[in-house]
Amino acid sequence: MSSRRDFMGFALGGFTAVGGIAALYAMKRSWDPLPSVKAAGFTTIDVSSAQPNVLNVEKWRGKPIFVLKKTADMKADDRDVIVGSDRFHISIGLCTHLGCIPAYLADEMKFKCACHGGEFDSSGHQIFGPPPSPLEIPPFKVDGTKIVLGEAGPEYKKMLDAGLTV
């Protein structure tokens, strides 16, 4: 008798558990970013008219993107994006501490975050305060004088492999 009841209990419990897990999966998927959100993920920037030491802020996936044409006396860095004969610093303009947007101080040639005082140099390396890592580089592809954000070109893959960004 009891074994038949046990069987019914296990059967009911088993089906309920499977249904419950399936429902949890559906709930998890409902919280996922929508396909339309993910698809709208490419931005093309033309850098041919950029001025040295003047920060341009573009928008990619809702995030600010720093585009800074380097002057001749700024130190070259492995993270620079080379377009023609010019070197550019391109990064996601969110402080790697907690995501505020650092401001660019052109005179001091550095980025400074107002939230917790973090600072980055003109190559995006952290030089002061709580930021644990350099400004991140978005996936990019150089296309003539244009840069396509969201697409991983060979230069980006090289930086990624070298661990220069995440």
Partner 1 sequence: MAHFEKAKSLNEWMDQRLAVNTIKRVMQTEYWIPKDINFLWAMGMVLAATFGILLISGIFLLMYYKPDVNLAFDSVNYTIMSEVGFGWLWRHIHGVAASLVFLIIYIHMFTGIYYGSYKKGRELIWLSGMLLFVTFSAEAFSGYMLPWGQMSYWAGMVITNLFSGGSLEAYGLVEWIRGDYVPGDAFLTRFFMLHVLLLPLAIIGLIVLHFGTLRLPHVNNQEGAEIDFEEAAELYKNGNHKEAKVIPFSPVFLSKDIFVMGIYFILFFYLVFYHFEFAMDPVNFDPADGLKTPAHIYPEWYFLWSYEILRPFSKDLGLVAFAIAQVIFFSLPFLDRSPNVAPANRRGLFHFWFWLMLVDMLVLTFMGKLPPTDALFANIGLVAALTFFALWVALPIITKLEKKL
Element at 60 (helix H, strand E) = strand 55-60
Q: How many degrees, rounded to 5, is the angle at CA 46 between CA 133 and CA 114? A: 35
Residue closer to partner 1 (CB basis): 109 or 115 = 115
Rule CB under 8 A: which of 63-82 touch partner 1?
A: 63-64
Which stretch, 12-20, 44-52, 73-81, 98-106, contacts partner 1 (CB under 8 A)?
Answer: 98-106
CB of 142 to partner 1, least distance (A): 23
CB of 61 to partner 1, least distance (A): 4
Give a three-class secondary structure readout of 79-136. Answer: CCEEECCEEEEEEECCCCCCCCCCEEECCCCEEECCCCCCEEECCCCEEECCCCCCCC
Query: Is residue 138 part of the contact set for partner 1 (CB under 8 A)?
Result: no
CB of 82 to partner 1, least distance (A): 26
Dihedral sign, CA of 8, 9, 14, 15? positive
Strand 110-112 versus strand 119-121 pairing type: antiparallel
Q: Would you give the binding string for partner 1 spanning residues 103-132, x where CB under 8 A is met?
A: -----------xxxx------------xxx
**DSSP letter at 1?**
-
Query: Is residue 97 part of the contact set for partner 1 (CB under 8 A)?
Result: yes
The terminus-to-terminus CA distance of the chain in angstroms comes to: 61
Query: Is residue 31 part of the contact set for partner 1 (CB under 8 A)?
Result: yes
Residues making contact with partner 1 (CB under 8 A) = 28, 31-34, 37, 41, 57, 59, 61-64, 97-101, 114-117, 130-132, 166
